[in-house]
Amino acid sequence: MTDPVADLRLRQLTSAALPVGAFAYSQGLESAVELGWVQNPAQAQQWIGGLLEHTLSRLEVPLLARLMAAFASADEASAERWSGLLLALRDTAELRAQERALGTAWAALLVDLGVPGAEPWADRPQRTALALYALAVAHYGVTVQDAGHALLWAWLEAQASAALRAVPLGHAAAQRVIHTLAAAIPAAVTRGLALADEDIGAGAPALAIASCRHETQYSRLFRS
């Protein structure tokens, strides 16, 4: 179990107020709205819930566990390899650019917070937001289960916020989406942590299409 101070550090790392610019990305949701796939709260919940179950639980969660283990054992080569795999499994240039941009912002923040080992990641080609998050939670002694729950919660909250602006949803509707899908997070983390190395990966064709279309979308609020 994560100790109280580490738990508070975790809350800081997953706060919407964290100055890394995550609010600027919708991860394809804005394009899904433009394409007519997401037009109401029910469709927003289906879109976000589908990605939670079929993408994050099969990619981010198992890679988070491996990255945390690599950082805990000071195995930088393994950390770079797993972070590089995440980049390779991002289907579009826009999603890869998002990972690198957020990774750079995370590295700068962690350097400012005095987290050891963050500075070299600022200009590594394999840098990702997930790798820097894993570095921080491993440093603070957060358990992998708690780190996984917090990661998915922060992602869910960010997606609901993006839907609030892009669909648009009302504030109460966005909170209902969060309330419903939050209950799926523990099972998603459990499934992800149980995956073997060879089972890591996810296929989300609609997300890939939406992301590709977003690159040339005429009017945009978000960078992805």
Sign of the C-alpha dihedral computed for residues 95, 219, 177 and 2 taken in this order: positive
Using CB atoms within 10 Å of the CB of residue 223, give its burial: 0 to 12 exposed, 13 to 18 middle, 19+ buried: middle
Dihedral angle over CA of 199, 203, 204, 208, nearest 10 = 130
Q: Is residue 198's pLDDT more than 70?
A: yes
Q: Which tokens belong to 104?
A: 């750079």
38, 167 contact by CB (below 8 A): yes
**Average pLDDT, stretch 102-109?**
94
The full set of domains in the chain, from first to last, is 22-214 (1.10.4190.10)
Q: 18-35, pLDDT tens digit by residue?
A: 888 888 878 889 999 999
pLDDT at 224: 62
Eight-class DSSP state of 199: G
**Average pLDDT, stretch 58-78?**
97
pLDDT at 203: 83
Using CB atoms within 10 Å of the CB of residue 130, give its burial: 0 to 12 exposed, 13 to 18 middle, 19+ buried: buried
CA–CA separation, 73 vs 7, rounded Å? 21
- Mean pLDDT, the chain, whole residue set: 93
Q: Quick one: pLDDT band at residue 220, thresholds 50, 70, 90?
A: low
- In single-letter form, the type of residue at position 112 comes to D
CA–CA separation, 78 vs 22, rounded Å? 26
130, 64 contact by CB (below 8 A): yes
Q: Quick one: pLDDT band at residue 141, thresholds 50, 70, 90?
A: very high
Sign of the C-alpha dihedral computed for residues 164, 167, 170 and 173 taken in this order: negative
**Average pLDDT, stretch 34-60?**
95
Q: Is residue 2's pLDDT more than 80?
A: no
